[in-house]
A and B are shown apart, each in its own frame.
Chain A
Amino acid sequence: MAYETIVEDGIDVLVVGAGLGGTGAAWEARFWGQDKKIVIAEKANIDRSGAVAQGLYAINCYMGTRWGENKPEDHVRYARTDLMGLVREDLLFDMARHVDSTVHQFEEWGLPIMKDPKTGRYLREGRWQIMIHGESYKPIVAEAAKKSADKVFNRICVTHLLMDDGKENRVAGAVGFNVRTGNYHVFKSKTVICGAGGASNIFKPRSVGEGSGRTWYAPWSSASAYGLMINAGAKMTQMENRIVLARFKDGYGPVGAYFLHLKTYTQNGLGQEFESTWFPELQKMVGKEYLDPEVSHLTHRPIPTCLRNHAMISEVNAGRGPIHMVTMKAFQDPHLEEVGWENFLGMTVGQAVLWAATDVDPKNENPELTTSEPYVMGSHATGSGAWCSGPEDISPPEYFWGYNRMTTIEGLFGAGDAVGGTPHAFSSGSFTEGRLAAKAACKYIDDGKAEGIVVSDEQIDRRRKEIYKPLEHYRIYRNAVVAGDVNPHYINPKQGLDRLQKLMDEYCGGVTVSYMTNEKLLSIGLKKLQIMEEDLQSLAAEDIHELLRAWELMHRHRAAECVTHHTLFRKETRWPGYYYRGDAMKLDDENWHVLTVSRRDPNNGEYTMEKAPCYHLVADEA
């Protein structure tokens, strides 16, 4: 094929994926590496890419230490409680102690942050959330990244990381193809900061047809953070910890501002409060330590997100649906009504489109809520991602190997969805993680750790052949049939995605089985994923656009496989409402108060699973 090979050599810091994590990395890298070569490879256009492409109406992670509102350890405790005890508290503390400086920078850059007219402080939506007019959040941070980077390559689908042929387990850059020209791009780099996205669309969505694009997380979040790193042999953590979202039905419009700022609340189809009725039974499953409504009421400790989901799922299954958000009262106030609508227009326009189409005016009618299909990501109320080193002044020995946010592959760093164990980072925390990774990557280079990297032509040629294989396969076999997509020699990316979603749904705890799975089901799921991997060798792409979808599918498939291994490994139900292990329906602190860590051997595809200790931040009485 006539596609050119374009080599970008001598890069110091390569940022793969420029969402909030990647833009933070590129921006900060220039400060620590004034003479370093900083390059961004982005799948779409950096001005509107990543999960924040559409905008945001809130920054969900801001401490407010300047006003004495919170301390970093308060946020760590919050994330710990919400995730049923299991988070990386070193990474969380580190993110939380820096995040305010990120937000103050955003304000200086022109991001409109709403102010409380009485106090002059940022307007709080909740304890951690501040409200913004964030339609241009992404273009603003993109401008910052562009000002720091030597080059920005838009429309590059990065398919693989390059590895050092001279030294085992050391990164050497990345390769991919240009989604417009089809050209093969090779980035040789001393360090790579993976800012690629989490996973939408690996579980069958509730919607059918067109509406399957109205995923909660962006449809272009194609699990590339995980696909790239798992394939390179990086250790992953908490991949079983998928998230299910309680959202406005079909449009998946956000509920945070509704609950916290507008003070709307939920009721069942009979108009009754239902949540608390499920708590006694739920308390037996998870223990009083994790669910104590009385203590929560007295201390304002939030009920974990998964447990609130559990109540909603159970109520619907008991036949008392649908669940409604009671908006009619709050929306009589014109100011609150405006906030309610602008909340959608700022970050989930599709929900406004849906209410307009169905004549739902929340002033006159209480809209329906539902629970979504599962998603795998690492920056919202869940923490899947790579097993990364923490900072030297905080991390215990098991969590520290030299460079902050470095994965278990030398020179490969993570930010945002790529980093495991750091839920509740959201946009500002992801940007902050990018900044931390950038500083560490520059230090890694300055310490001489990236000397003597060798990338063989063999590796570059091998990846090139692999990348274009679906185009080649299509060209060879398309004429075996008269016309159409039914061909015994191949499947196309859409057919593959349908298969992946169906099997993950049925065997790994998706929405059609009410998030239920067990050892037997997971084992069957793994077998099907393995057979699917064989079929992925026969994936066919008609054109460059389909080649993009083909590689997104391969990343999704790899992430799904890792999720299934982790779900099988953890023999307990840690997060009822996110998923259930039917064969181990209780939370089991004795055996499973640990972080799960996996590694896939790139040579034979075998997974090794291990338990890593869970450290907590406590008062030092000494």
Chain B
Amino acid sequence: MPTFVHMTRCDGCGHCVDICPSDIMHIDKTYRRAYNIEPSMCWECYSCVKACPQDAIDVRGYADFAPLGHSVRVKRDEQKGTIAWKIKFRNGTEKSFLSPITTKPWGTAIPKLADVPGPGKEMRDSQLLYNEPKYLRMDDGGLHTLESNGLKMTKGVVY
């Protein structure tokens, strides 16, 4: 059904509603808990599963091709900067995986461009973007142009 919500775990906080890219996690008006209102528009992207503070959301594979009896669970931790997966097969086999999600303390590494000195006229009139040319090669190399690379544009059939 792609995602589904465990009745006993969901407290109706709405984090899943807030994050779902497909707008399909909604709060049920009677039970005041979340549910997937349109399973055929669910990508099994796990955004809601990762966002749920109660671990209340799970995924059951698409009914038209996935048999029952499996699970793929996830724990995403911004403090530790990791994501942990546990896959359980229908036949009981289990596999676990752990990956980093960032190399920097969460939310600290991106500068505010309003605080950096603005570009001068020369840079505005050039083809350069912010942080260029330095970030192109992390050395003194410049931007490639047709001239620097000995190229031209020609009309017609070229293979």
How many Å lie between the Cα of A446 and that of B44 in the bound state?
A: 44
B66:A31 contact, CB within 8 angstroms: no
Q: Which 4 A-B pairs have the closest CB atoms?
A: A110-B104, A211-B62, A616-B158, A350-B44
Contact partner of A135 among B40, B59, B76, CB < 8 A? B76
Chain A residues closer than 8 Å to B74, beta-carbon distance: 345, 349
B64:A207 contact, CB within 8 angstroms: yes
Q: Write the chain A residue with the least CB distance to B126.
A: A393
A213 interface contact, C-beta 8 A: yes
Interface size on B, as a range, is 35 or more
Q: Which of B140-159 contact A (CB under 8 A)?
A: 141, 143-146, 149-159
A213:B131 contact, CB within 8 angstroms: no
A127 interface contact, C-beta 8 A: no
How many Å lie between the Cα of A289 and that of B157 in the bound state?
A: 11
A73:B23 contact, CB within 8 angstroms: no
Chain B residues closer than 8 Å to A341, beta-carbon distance: 87, 95, 97
A44:B153 contact, CB within 8 angstroms: no
Check A214/B44 contact, CB under 8 A, given A98-B132, A143-B110: yes
B149:A72 contact, CB within 8 angstroms: yes
Q: Which of A154-179 contact B (CB under 8 A)?
A: 155, 179
Check A34/B114 contact, CB under 8 A, given A110-B104, A435-B129: yes
Contact partner of A356 among B90, B102, B107, CB < 8 A? B90
A328 interface contact, C-beta 8 A: no
User: 1/0 per position for A211-237, CB-CB distance to B under 8 A?
Assistant: 111110011100000000000000000
A314 interface contact, C-beta 8 A: no
Interface of B with A (CB < 8 Å)?
1-2, 18-23, 26, 37-47, 59, 61-72, 74, 76, 83, 85, 87-91, 93, 95, 97, 99-104, 106-107, 109-114, 116, 118-119, 124, 127, 129-132, 135-139, 141, 143-146, 149-159
B152:A620 contact, CB within 8 angstroms: yes
How many Å lie between the Cα of A98 and that of B143 in the bound state?
A: 8
A519 interface contact, C-beta 8 A: no
CB pairs A–B below 8 angstroms (13 shown): A28-B113, A32-B130, A54-B47, A98-B143, A100-B135, A207-B64, A213-B22, A213-B62, A341-B95, A341-B97, A394-B146, A617-B146, A617-B151
Q: Main secondary structure on chain A at its contact with chain B? A: helix
A112:B100 contact, CB within 8 angstroms: yes
Considering only CB atoms and an 8 Å cut-off, how many residues of chain A contact the other chain? Answer: 102
A476 interface contact, C-beta 8 A: no
B113:A358 contact, CB within 8 angstroms: no
A302 interface contact, C-beta 8 A: no
Which stretch, A45-53, A503-511, A523-531, A564-572, touches the partner chain B? A45-53
B102:A44 contact, CB within 8 angstroms: no
Contact partner of A215 among B43, B70, B127, CB < 8 A? B43
Contact partner of A213 among B39, B66, B104, B138, CB < 8 A? B39
Chain B residues closer than 8 Å to A593, beta-carbon distance: 156-157
